[in-house]
Amino acid sequence: MINFNYNIPTRVFFGKDQIKVLAKEIKKYGSKVLLTYGGGSIKRTGIYDTVIQILKDNNISYWELGGIEPNPRITSVKEGVKICRENDIDFILAVGGGSTIDCSKVIGAAFYYEGDPWDLVSGKSRIENVLPVGTILTLSATGSEMDAGAVISNLETKEKLGCGHPGMFPKFSILDPTYTFTVPANQTAAGTADIMSHIFEVYFNKTEGAYLQNRMAEALLKTCIKYGPIAYKEPENYEARANIMWASSLAINGLLTYGKETNWSVHGMEHELSAFYDITHGVGLAILTPSWMKHVLDDSTVNYFVDYGVNVWDLDKDGDKFEIANAAIDKTREFFTSLGIPSTLTEVGINCENLEIMAKAAVRRGSLGNFKPLKAEDVLSIFEASL
């Protein structure tokens, strides 16, 4: 039986030129803004100039934190907290991809915490309160624009960990697909893989009766499969960028998970790869996913893969169950490869050296996933199968 409370509080302004709402939305929450962004793409694309002009025209004071890294670091969080405290910041505006948004959320949380911000990420201390955050999304991938989570890396301890709090839901997100026209092909591909992985993490799940959630998940997967390659080849195709952008938000905002007992697995493994080798999140997921699927395929899971093969890849439903399942897994791998994503860890510079350490670290908070729970030895064999 499915029980849940629906609550997705982020206000979404979707479509071309929705930036027009920015000043009005900010003023609902504050007047002293920390503007956060990454390594400079927003300056090259002109979004930075547009935002600054709006802030100036509306007498909104702002401070800046640029240079937030892909796989954002706790050091950037600390820098942000310092600026917020010194200037009584009351609102954070994140302009960028998941890294900028995640870093901003944790700055907002750490603002209210006296100790080391890493405590909030590692789970040593609980997040109690968060400064309001709004986002202008420039890369469709993580869904951070409409969820309450954030993932932060600590280079010193070689850890990359997730944390969450209801206060981390962005208050609003401006989703203008034209802002993603400049996303390079490799990031478009990685983003599509990330969105699909978020769907897989909750679709492959044994909770009974979630028929609607499962069909919605299939619709989102089909959307990625249809539009990912178009966005990859035609970066300025509005329809493709728009569909991928909305899929990114819907994949992880809770809609597909309501009533299901979910516990993710491939993300836990991938975060170790990013923590050790600083690789692109979506690339790591695309490499591990087919190996994970093969690893968990057995009599107890085969029917789920048959649904996937038939409903998502349009495979013939009358064949042998395991043949359909294996064909669906092969289709998944071929799809990622068709987007130019490497298919082995070796191709991204990962060899057998740290696999055991990473496998142990991946299960530091317990077995991964509940579709078929993974222990350290399972993770290791998935890593080895992905070399």
Provide the binding-site residues for ligand NZQ, judged by CB under 6 A: 38-42, 45, 70-71, 96-100, 102, 138-139, 141-144, 147, 149-151, 179-180, 182-183, 187, 191, 194, 252, 267, 281-282
Q: How far is CA 145 from CA 22, 52, 111, 113, 373, in A?
A: 15, 20, 20, 23, 29
Task: Choose between 149 and 259: whose C-beta lies nearer to ligand NZQ.
Answer: 149
Task: Choose between 151 and 345: whose C-beta lies nearer to Zn ion.
Answer: 151
Q: How far is the CB of 137 from ligand NZQ (least distance, A)?
A: 8
In this structure, the strands spanning 133-137 and 172-175 are: parallel
Q: How far is the CB of 198 from Zn ion (least distance, A)?
A: 6
Q: Of Zn ion, ligand NZQ, none, which one sits near residue 167, judging by CB under 5 to 8 A according to partner kind?
A: none
Q: How far is CA 289 from CA 155, 196, 254, 333, in A?
A: 25, 10, 21, 8
Task: Choose between 159 and 194: whose C-beta lies nearer to Zn ion.
Answer: 194
Q: Of Zn ion, ligand NZQ, none, which one sits near residue 97, judging by CB under 5 to 8 A according to partner kind?
A: ligand NZQ
Token pair listed for 293:
């699927």
Our CA dihedral for 319, 323, 327, 328, rounded to 10 degrees, sits at: 80
Q: How far is the CB of 86 from Zn ion (least distance, A)?
A: 33
Q: How far is the CB of 291 from Zn ion (least distance, A)?
A: 17
Q: Of Zn ion, ligand NZQ, none, which one sits near residue 187, judging by CB under 5 to 8 A according to partner kind?
A: ligand NZQ
Task: Choose between 174 and 283: whose C-beta lies nearer to Zn ion.
Answer: 283
Q: How far is the CB of 299 from ligand NZQ (least distance, A)?
A: 30
Q: How far is the CB of 234 from Zn ion (least distance, A)?
A: 24
Task: Choose between 121 and 382: whose C-beta lies nearer to ligand NZQ.
Answer: 121
CA 268, CA 353: separation in Å to the nearest integer? 19
Q: Is residue 272 a contact residue for Zn ion (CB under 5 A)? A: no
Our CA dihedral for 196, 201, 202, 206, rounded to 10 degrees, sits at: 130
Q: Of ligand NZQ, Zn ion, none, which one sits near residue 183, judging by CB under 5 to 8 A according to partner kind?
A: ligand NZQ
Q: Of Zn ion, ligand NZQ, none, which one sits near residue 252, judging by CB under 5 to 8 A according to partner kind?
A: ligand NZQ
Task: Choose between 150 and 196: whose C-beta lies nearer to ligand NZQ.
Answer: 150
Q: How far is the CB of 339 from Zn ion (least distance, A)?
A: 16
Max Cα–Cα distance, the chain, nearest Å: 66
Token pair listed for 295:
């690893």
Among 145, 194, 307, 378, binds Zn ion (CB under 5 A): 194
Task: Count how many Cα atoms sit within 13 Å of the Cα of residue 282 in the half-sphere of its side chain.
Answer: 27
Q: Of Zn ion, ligand NZQ, none, which one sits near residue 151, judging by CB under 5 to 8 A according to partner kind?
A: ligand NZQ
Q: How far is CA 16 from CA 54, 104, 180, 242, in A?
A: 16, 24, 11, 10
- Interacting residues toward Zn ion by CB under 5 A: 194
